[in-house]
Homo-oligomer: A and B are copies of this chain.
Amino acid sequence: MNNEIPVISLQRLPIYLNYLKSMPADRAYVSSGHIAEALGMGEVLVRKDLAYTSATGKPRVGYSVAELIAALEDFLCCNGCRNAVIAGAGALGRAVLGYGGFSNYGINVVAAFDTNPEKVGKEIAGKPVYDIADAEREIKKCNAELAVVCVPAQFAQEVADVLISCGIKAILNFAPVLIKAPEGVVVRHIDVAANLAILSSMI
């Protein structure tokens, strides 16, 4: 789905969506120029990105804010409902479990997996923590397709292999190591230290 849009454009859509949602409720229309200026981007770029969605702007008026939000949410599957699981209930896993922002995108974080007997069987932020050995049963039960990997680097590939074998189709990886996945499974990598290093090299 959404195969035509370049990933680089796709990455900007949540930024537009967040900005539009932050606008005053009585604002009916917004131009691509206004969005571009507010976000420090080029207007042509904004128009090109938004053209991937079903939204259409009107000359001299711009986009209906409500329609543009709906088009972006639709494109980002916010109105569908997908279930996600967290692998690793350490400090980062706990933070992700407690993070409320997923529902904006139609994503439910339903459970976490860990191997630590002190964590298994407990609840974090109201979500159950299961033994990773029960991953297949629990992932099939809740029909989860998304996973966030929050385990140490040395376990990341092994855990990802288990998740994929249980039907997970998309993995967000926080471990500082590349995860290999078969065709049909998408992986995104968030390396916190690398992101800070990139910033550090820019100042």
Q: Which residues of A contact B (CB under 8 A)?
A: 1-2, 7-8, 10-11, 13-15, 18-19, 22, 39, 75-78, 82, 84, 90-92, 94-96, 98-99, 101-102, 104-107, 145-146, 148, 169-172, 176-178, 186, 188-203
Complex contacts, A98 vs chain B, CB 8 Å:
91
Nearest to A176 among chain B residues (CB) is B101
Nearest to A90 among chain B residues (CB) is B95
Known: A91-B91, A178-B39. A99 touches B193 (CB 8 A): yes
What's the minimum C-beta distance from A14 to chain B, rounded to whole angstroms?
A: 3
Most buried by B among A7, A102, A171: A102
The count of identical subunits is 2
Nearest to A124 among chain B residues (CB) is B91
Q: How far is the CA of A193 from the CA of B65 in the complex (A)?
A: 22
Contact between chains at B107 and A193 (CB < 8 Å): yes
Q: How far is the CA of A198 from the CA of B197 in the complex (A)?
A: 24
Nearest to A187 among chain B residues (CB) is B199
Complex contacts, A199 vs chain B, CB 8 Å:
146, 170-172, 186, 188
A-B contact pairs, 20 of them (CB 8 A): A1-B201, A2-B201, A7-B198, A11-B194, A14-B198, A15-B178, A18-B176, A22-B177, A76-B201, A82-B200, A91-B94, A91-B98, A92-B92, A101-B192, A101-B193, A146-B196, A146-B199, A146-B200, A172-B192, A172-B195
Most buried by B among A178, A201, A202, A203: A201
Q: How far is the CA of A203 from the CA of B14 in the complex (A)?
A: 17
Contact between chains at B10 and A198 (CB < 8 Å): yes
Contact between chains at A186 and B170 (CB < 8 Å): no
